[in-house]
Amino acid sequence: MTSFEEQLVRALERKSAEAPPTGQLVEAARMRHRRRRRALLCSGAALAIAVVLVPAGVLANHGLELGPSGGTGPVASSATTTTPSGSHDGPGCAELTGPLPVPATPAPPVPDAAAQHLAINESGTVAAWFNETGRLPELVVFDLTNNEELAREDLGVGEVAPQPSLRILGQALYFRSAEDHDVWVRYAWHHDGYPLVYTICN
Amino acid sequence: MTTDDFSAYVVARGESLVRFAFVLTGDQADAQDIVQDALSRALPRWDRIRAMEDVDAYVRRMVVNAHVSWWRRFRRKEFSVAEVRPTASVRATNPADTVVDAAFDQAVWLACARLGRGQRIAVVLRYYEGLSFKEIGNIMGCAEATARSRVFRGLATLRDLLGAEEAP
């Protein structure tokens, strides 16, 4: 091995120390495995995707308003019900209250509005919500500034808690795990919209 | 029993896998992602994997495959990085002359980011994992000669980028 190769080996070894913490790899792997299995089971099912994106600014046009930050309370639990008291306890985002929105501007076809637990970050640039599409809840992240979808991810049945307290902080969003309400599931989206990084934090 | 064994393996080897993935991808988030992806695929077939002679090698291969398949699936754009400017320490070929390790490490990192995907994987497997060309070929699904070629071409590119002298 030449001296340059030896230097290369040492440099790579030193840089590897900057690797991210392992976190809870076992739990993350198990959850991913379950999601993959569920997705396979449901892959034959027709999923009527209902995507509704209404920038915060147009919500008012539909008689909607954003819930206050900092409170707690129930949120809508199905696509067809509306919950007037929706709000959540997370900083930096707000949850949709009132009737579900109707597309106000040209948008993907939306047969039935099904957005739930809509959260918008503090600066109003990113929105995220769950779609109840068939059996699988679907997580959607949307760039409100550029009007483009950042990420879309099928979640497993029962993976999302009934009151997930969805919130957006920085480049990641968090929601409560259905399996353990004290566990927060974290998703971070990349600049190209995928993949979502899936980690669990307590 | 299987899940206990799987958990024990991940606890023991998880950090090493993430470090390997980090060197492989050059990105912390990607490293976490591909390791999680590989482990989630290993879990349902853990009974078979744990019976293998070299479990670690197999799982690392899964990590490499996850990296490759994600890259293919999402056709990641390759981003140009800042110009790699050889410094005195970078130019030095004698380790004793390398005073500023951090500067050299960063230059190597940036140079690795400019390698083609195949060359980077080959270089990492060779110089970080210390694998033989045959083992690299097995992991990358190519002939030993191809693996050797990728390593040497990657090394030559790194030398060029880092301004290092040609090996004798």
Interface predicted TM-score (ipTM) of this complex, two decimals? 0.75
| CB-CB under 8 Å, A192 with B76 | yes
Q: pLDDT (tens digit, 9 = 90+) per residue, B15-53? A: 899 999 999 888 887 888 888 888 888 888 888 888 888
| Entry pTM | 0.50
Best B34, B77, B127 residue to mutate vs chain A (most A CBs within 10 Å): B127
CA distance A114 to A123: 24
Q: Number of A:B CB contacts under 8 A?
A: 128
Best B19, B70, B73, B112 residue to mutate vs chain A (most A CBs within 10 Å): B19
Query: Which strands make up the sheet holding A167-169, listed edge to edge?
Result: A167-169, A172-176, A184-188, A197-201
- State which amino acid sits at residue B85: R
Query: Residue A68, Cβ neighbours under 10 Å: how many?
Result: 12
- State which amino acid sits at residue B17: L
User: pLDDT at residue A57 above 80?
Assistant: no
Give the least confident one: A130-134, A188-192, B28-32: A188-192
Q: Which helix (H) or strand (E) holds A116?
A: strand A115-121
Closest CA to B31 of B14, B48, B43: B14
| CB-CB under 8 Å, A22 with B168 | no
As given in the structure block, the two tokens for residue A87 are: 């709000």
CB A139 within 8 Å of CB A167: no
CA distance A89 to A87: 7
Position A85 confidence tier, pLDDT thresholds 50, 70, 90: very low
Among the partner-chain residues A3, A26, A29, the one whose CB lies closest to the CB of B93 is A3
- In order of A195, B116, B118, B131, B159, the CA distances from B153 in angstroms are 30, 10, 10, 17, 10
Q: pLDDT (tens digit, 9 = 90+) per residue, B145-165? A: 888 888 988 898 898 888 865
| CB-CB under 8 Å, B164 with A25 | no
Mean pLDDT of chain B: 78
| CB-CB under 8 Å, B42 with A16 | no
| Half-sphere exposure for A198 (CA within 13 Å, toward CB) | 27
Q: What is the largest CA-CA distance in chain B?
A: 55
Chain A residues within 8 A of B4 when measuring between CB atoms: none
